[in-house]
Structures are given as C-alpha cells and as structure tokens.
Structure 1
Amino acid sequence: MITTRFTELFGIEHPVVQGGMQRVSKAELVAAVANAGALGFLSALTQPTPQALTAEIERTRTMTAKPFGVNLTILPSLNPPPYEEYVQAIIDAGIKVVETAGRSPAPFMPAFNAAGVKVIHKCTSVKHAKKAQEVGCAAVIIDGFEAAGHPGEDDIPSLVLLPRAVDELAIPVIACGGFSDGRSLVAALALGADAVSMGTRFLGTEEAPVHANLKQKLLEASELDTQLIFRKFRNTARVFKNAIAVEVAEIEKQAESEFGDVAELVAGKRGAVVLESGDMEHGIWWAGVSAGLIHDIPSVADLVARIVGDAEHIIRQRLAALTI
C-alpha cells in the first residue's frame, strides 16, 4: 500500500487519478476507476445539460459505492455553457471533489467551499499553481509538456515542472504528462508528487467508451506519434498524429493563416465521430507521448493493480538494493 497526502486527504486507496476527458469520462470508465481504488472524474461538459450531468452522476453511483469526482473545464467562449448551473448540479448531487481546468475556479470557490467540495485545479505552470493554492484549491494537477490536451506555452517537461511546483506549494501536487505505469508512479513520488493523473493510459483500457480502432492505434503508437497544433495561436495542443493533425500543422505554417482556416478540421463534432465510428482520420483526438508505453488493453482494475504493484516492487526491491 502506498499512502500519500493525496490518498489521505481524498480518502482514496491508491495515488492514481483518471482525469476528466471530454466524451470519454463517462460512468462506465469512472466507476471502474473508483472500484479499482483510484480517483476518477466524470466530464461535466460531456453531458449536454446540468440535468444530464445529474443523471450521469446517479448512473455512476449504480456501478460503484466508492468516491469519484466531476471535472469542470472552464474555457472562454462566445456562448459559454451555464457554468453556474453545472456547479449547482455538482453540489446538489453531493459530489465532494471537483477537478477544474482552463480558467481559474475562483468565481466558483465560495459555492464549492460552502458545500464542503475539495477542488483540484489543473495547471501548466508554477505561476498558475500558486494562484490555485491562493484561491483555496485543496490540490493541483501539474501538466508537463508530455501531456495530451493543452500543456501550456512554456514547453517544460514533467521532470522539471513537477519538482518546481512541489518546491513552491504547500498543498498536494498531482503529476500529469507522461505517466502510465509503476515506474512513472515511483518517479513522480521521488520528485515530490502525491499522486499521478493519467488520461491516455486510461484510454487504453477495456472500459474506456471509445471505438476499438482507437485502442488499436494506441497499441501501435510510439512516443513519436503525437502532433503539436495551435502553436501559432498560443493555444498549443497535443493530439494523436493523423492526417488531419498533420494538415492543421501545415496550414499553421502559412504566414497569413488564421484559426478560422483550421476551425472546421478541428471541430469537436469531427472528434466525436472518431471516438464513435472508429474512423481515425476523420478528426483530431487527444493523446500524450505516453502512448508509446501502451502495450496492452487491460481492464481498469488490472491496470491500477499492476501500476501500484510494480511501484511497490520497485521501491522495496530495486531501490532498496541500491542503498548501502
């Protein structure tokens, strides 16, 4: 058993987190993570309305009696979703841990605090992590440059960004970006983290609600099979390298290109088709460089047990043997 500030503060058996993934973090996956003794997050905005989120929370509870949370990603938009209503739905459902990402959760902290909800904010820089601590977050997730999604604009990998954050913060730090197995869990703990958060690795599990073709792509992938896009627009994103991702990157190289030139290619509705139909070239889909470390598609229970078991073995056997 590996016990950290994270496991103690959040009442979780293992220091492993399944981050909120748009269109992926649904009841089947999150319940399996919870039952395995890790912490899983439903994706609030995967649900079209706050009422649908309430129903998904209740559906998850029919599959597990263990703790799980909800991810709320807060992004600038011309037509933003009703964030306040989603927050209230989370609170009314009795959820006690929320993962936020994107903009600061500060506007919603009074409501979460009043309801006894612990907030974990996902950050891509030490500056933002310190701000999250300042506004009252219980913990932060630190996204290294290896991560899928939006890893920030500083290009700092986990090996440096993680201990920098640990040095600056008093609250628990959860490592994200490149973590996928027992070896990387031990590395994160050695760097001062209290847990690891994984997205890409959980995509490659039996319970992940995505097409089998996507899981096969992960099995075939190396660490070279991701593509950075949106660099020109200062909104860097790491996705799987397919024809669409490469086309977007090539358009960005054109001197006068604007986001509107790629908007249709990267539309969320096209990504949804990828996950549901298995047409892996129809749109972009998220993947981190840890895809190169995925060699099987286990159940969530087997994956979590293997990660923790391997980490315990490394700590007790290999590392202990290196000391005098």
Structure 2
Amino acid sequence: MFKTRITEMFDIKYPVIQGGMQRVSTAELVSAVANAGALGFLSALTQPTPEALAEEIKRTQSMTNQPFGVNLTILPTLTPPPYEEYARVIVESGVKIVETAGRSPEPFMSMFNAAGVKVIHKCTSVRHAKKAEQVGCAAVTIDGFEAAGHPGEDDVPSMVLVPRAVDELDIPVIACGGFSDGRSLVAALALGAEAVSMGTRFLGTQESPVHGNLKKKLVEASELDTQLIFRKFRNTARVFKNTISLEVAGIERKEGAEFSDVAELVAGKRGAIVLETGDMEQGIWWAGISAGLIYDIPTVDQLVSRMMQDAENIITSRLAAVVR
C-alpha cells in the first residue's frame, strides 16, 4: 500500500528510514531495520578507521540480504578524518546508498556517481536542500527544529519546513524531526514527504546498542525533556536534558562565554560513557522532542510493523470517516 519514490528508488518495503547515529548505528541495529523492511544506515565515523568500516559493512551484509546504507557526516574540524578513504570503502564494499550530513557532499559526488551510489543529503533548510539537488543528490532529508542533533539556526518546525522543501524541489523529500509512529508517518506523507527518518525512536528499541538506563529515560521522558545547547556558538544542538546539558546551557548564558568553556563537558568520550555504562549524568546524549512519544522499547520489527499497521488504519478508517 505504501509505495513512494523513496521505496521504489531504494527497493525497500516501507517508507521508514533509520538515520545514521554516532556510536549507535552498528550492524545489529541496521540489519534489524533492513530485515523489518525499512532502510537503515551504518555510521561510518563510529568506526575508528576506514578498514574498520569495511569490516562493519561485511558484518551487516552477513546479517541481512536487504538494502542498507552508510552515513558519512562531513564536518569542518582541525584534524578531519580521512573522508575520501571512508567514501572509497563504501564504494568498494558494494553499498549503493549513502546518507551525508554536515557539509555538502559535492566533493564526493563524482566517485559516488561513477559507482552507481545514490546520495541522500540531510538538510536543515530549504536553501541547503536546493543546493543538494543541484549537486546531484537523489533525495534530501529535511530536519525540522524538533530533531535531535543539529537542527540548524532557523528554528522552523517540520510542519512548515517539510512542505516548503516539497514545494521547492523535484527530488524526493524525507521528513525528519518529531516523527515516531504511524500517526506521524501519515502526517509526513500528507505534507508531501515520501518517507520519514527517525533517530530517537530507533534509539529506543531492543536492538539499539545502548545501555538500558538510556532506554528507560526515553520511556519516562515527556516532550519537555530535551535541551538546546551551543546556540551562542551558532551550532545549535538538541540533546536530552540532564545535569550536564543544563550546566552547558548555563555557561553559554554568561557574557563572553566561548566554546572552550564547555568543550570538556561535551566531549565525545563522556557521551560514550553514557551509552556504554548507563551513567546518565556523565555527558550529553542526543535526543529529539519525539522522546515524549516513546512509551515502550519494542524490537525493531515490532516497531516498524506497528507503525505501518497504524498508518494504514488511520488512512483507511479514521480519515475515510472524516471525508464524506
């Protein structure tokens, strides 16, 4: 029933995507998503080297015969990872779908195009989405202000940003930010999107490789339990609200505050401790507003099946009853 340009382009059963998440999108989660009929993305930079990424791709391929992709997040840093080597590993592994984020994937498009790799670029604004279309991306993911991670500086929610992108683009649009169930899938399709991308909801599944304390926090959370940080530094990030994120936000409010004042608090190694040990106050961890809609920790297959059944029921029963 749910056939869109995204399901046809990537040969998947359902218009549901699991976005790449640092330290979370590993073979266990991604293969489960693929086997459930959705599209999952490994996180390339979770792997310490391009060689390690090649092994993780092989592990995933041994666990599913369904399509999956790799996320390559391209960020400006003083000591950048060997992005080109990671990209080459993706191509040589036979993976045909890449999700890029951060900077434009333009420098890698010729390599990906030559190998028949289709690129989805994550954007937080219509202007960036139009640029992604211009450089040859097959689709874009639009992150509304509700999303975890870096939702941009424009503060436009998905309800407006998604249809704005649909109006401006010819390539398919994937909705991200606040989507977590069958209701939000139907809403995204009504807005013109051709799939939804979820991070926080897949974080709260049995196959997600994070500590049970984190999953418990997601179930207990309301829509008020995320915190915006880095606003002062024009690099806004949405994370779960805990003592560390509140401390970071407080430091930012001080006159003359610089990123160096919070750098140790937000270090990736501290976030890794949260995910691995369940010490929820050790560092920051990413979560979107959709955490307020997580009421259980199902398997990935249960989550996807429930979403699709609920979406179908909404369209065929509830909405059909409204239109008379």
Give the alignment's TM-score, normalised by structure 1: 1.00
Counterpart in the other structure of 1:164: 164
Alignment of 1:177-192 (within 5 A): 177-192=177-192
Q: Distance in 2 between matches of 1:215 and 1:321?
A: 37
Q: Distance in 2 between matches of 1:25 and 1:289?
A: 20
Counterpart in the other structure of 2:285: 285
What are the ranges of 5 or more consecutive residues in structure 2 without an aligned counterpart?
A: none
Counterpart in the other structure of 1:52: 52
Per-residue CA deviations over 1:273-324 (Å, capped at 9, x if unaligned) read 0000000000000000000000000000000000011001100111111112
2:93 partner amino acid: A
Q: Distance in 2 between matches of 1:262 and 1:9?
A: 42
Alignment of 1:1-324 (within 5 A): 1-324=1-324
2:38 partner amino acid: A
Shift of 1:104: 0.2
Per-residue CA deviations over 1:40-85 (Å, capped at 9, x if unaligned) read 0000000000000000000011111100000000000000000000
Q: Distance in 2 between matches of 1:214 and 1:248?
A: 20
Q: Distance in 2 between matches of 1:287 and 1:258?
A: 24
Give the alignment's TM-score, normalised by structure 2: 1.00
State the Cα RMSD in Å.
0.4
What are the ranges of 5 or more consecutive residues in structure 1 without an aligned counterpart?
A: none
1:76 partner amino acid: P
Q: Distance in 1 between matches of 2:256 and 2:183?
A: 45
Q: Distance in 1 between matches of 2:228 and 2:204?
A: 21
Q: Number of residue pairs matched?
A: 324
2:215 partner amino acid: K
Per-residue CA deviations over 1:96-130 (Å, capped at 9, x if unaligned) read 00000000000000000000000000000000000
Per-residue CA deviations over 1:138-177 (Å, capped at 9, x if unaligned) read 0000000000000000000000000000000000000000
1:322 partner amino acid: V
Residue identity over aligned pairs, in percent, reads 77
